[in-house]
Structure 1
């Protein structure tokens, strides 16, 4: 599918159309840009222009200084735009009928904002649309800016944008940061997310999992004695009823 349709007049618009196709194809992919001179297969009917204009995400109407007044080939006394069979006019009509986004792109400083009274009624509404402007002297910068605006506005183009930052995702959710604890003193609790834990210089037993922690020997059952280390005071142990000795409280 071609996401971007370039609408232009052969007389006066061919050069800028090819520059647009080159820049936008490099950014969004060759198959994403429809340019009549290169995108129509040999022997294909010309009504492919209208079908593609309807199915595209955006139609860029390239408007130079002579766009409004170019004479009709068959009847030079009238404007080409006044001919219902004019392809530039028909492509814009097809895009408008299908709900395709239409963006007037003024080429050069001499192009003034469109006057709906000077346009055929079927396309007069584009005079009220927000337009872009490019200049031949700064065409690369202007087309890069146009590509930025299209990528922000149209998700289909954003997904194809070769200028996206590496690792960018459509979810907008930041990736969980890794946690490193170097020379950590005290406890660590409630660490969530994608975590890498590094613990250095431990001087006691370390328990980092679930369940109880047991440091040293463990004994179960009745009557078990365990003595470790030096014993200097003796060990006494009694069972049953204890008989008080003198001086002790009963």
Structure 2
């Protein structure tokens, strides 16, 4: 089943239509995008194929360039194509709007401007109120990727066909373990949880815990439980213990 129907005018929009078809097919699969020149089998009644595929689609992309509104009617010189009720671009759009299908005007190039409802047939006036997207051929890959990302958030059927879903967020081992060390060299690092404080490459006085630290005549005085003090160069580890000091057997002699 074709999920996306590409509506375009052969004069001026054919190149963009083929480029859109290629990128949409790569994202959602070959059978998910309808383009009349590629999707209608030989010998098929094209009128029935066009209308039936519009009705079965979930999204219609209306490719609109700067000449789209004033494109001439080939069968009636001097008149605009959109004025002709038999114009296929118009008929496909009317069918999509009346069927409740999501219609997205896709403005081709920087010169294409938002549609003016006063210049559209009454049956297409709603098209001027549809939020449009812009497509530039120089940045078509980026623009189409952005469009596809937005469509899958609106159309669950497309999300199920997405061949390039966004990667799942990866976990941060350091964050999960509660360790935060942003390339710190020396000083104090913080460890969340019940581990306490770690000290690495200290080169000066260091005091941690709840005790007091007093420097007097270069003879430090330290009081309080759970207190660490480091002076000078430290080339080893520091272990901090909490709570009352437990006597060792050697202290009992």
Fold conserved between structures, TM > 0.5: yes
| Deviations 1:168-226 (CA, angstroms, capped at 9, x unpaired) | 9xxxxxxxxxxxxxxxxxxxxxxxxxxxxxxxxxxxxxxxxxxxxxxxxxxxxxxxxxx
- Tell me the SS of whatever aligns to 2:5: strand
**Corresponding residue for 2:9?**
9
Map 1:94-243 onto structure 2 (within 5 A).
Answer: 94-165=95-166
In the alignment, what sits opposite 2:84? 83
> 1:54 Cα shift?
1.2
Q: Deviations over 1:49-98 (max 9, x none)?
A: 01111110000000011101111011111000000000000000111111
Deviation, structure 1 residue 164: 1.4
Q: What residue is the counterpart of 1:20 in the other structure?
A: 20
Q: Which residue in 2 is equivalent to 1:73?
A: 74
1:55 maps to 56
In structure 1, what is the equivalent of residue 40 of structure 2? 40
Q: TM-score scaled by structure 1?
A: 0.66
In structure 2, C-alpha distance between the alignment counterparts of 1:32 and 1:72, rounded to whole Å: 31
Q: Tell me, what secondary structure is at the counterpart of 2:51?
A: helix
* Distance in 1 between residues matched to 2:136 and 2:166, nearest whole Å: 27
- Indicate the structure with greater helix content: 2
State the match for 1:227 in structure 2: none
- Higher strand proportion: 2
Q: What do residues 6-55 of structure 1 show as CA deviations (whole Å, max 9, x unaligned)? A: 00000100000000000000000010000000000111112210111111
- 1:144 is displaced (CA, Å) by 0.6
> Aligned residue for 1:174?
none
Give 1:173's aligned residue. Answer: none
Consecutive unaligned residues in structure 1, runs of 5 or more: 169-250
Structure number, greater radius of gyration: 1
Instruction: Give the structure 2 partner of residue 172 of structure 1.
Output: none
Q: Segments of 4+ in structure 1 off by > 3 A?
A: 165-168
Residue 167 of structure 1 and its aligned partner are, at CA, apart by 7.9
List alignment gaps of at least 5 residues for structure 2: 170-253
Superposition RMSD in Å: 1.3
Partner SS state of residue 103, structure 2? strand
Q: Distance in 1 between matches of 2:19 and 2:142?
A: 12
CA deviation after TM superposition for structure 1 residue 165, in Å: 4.5
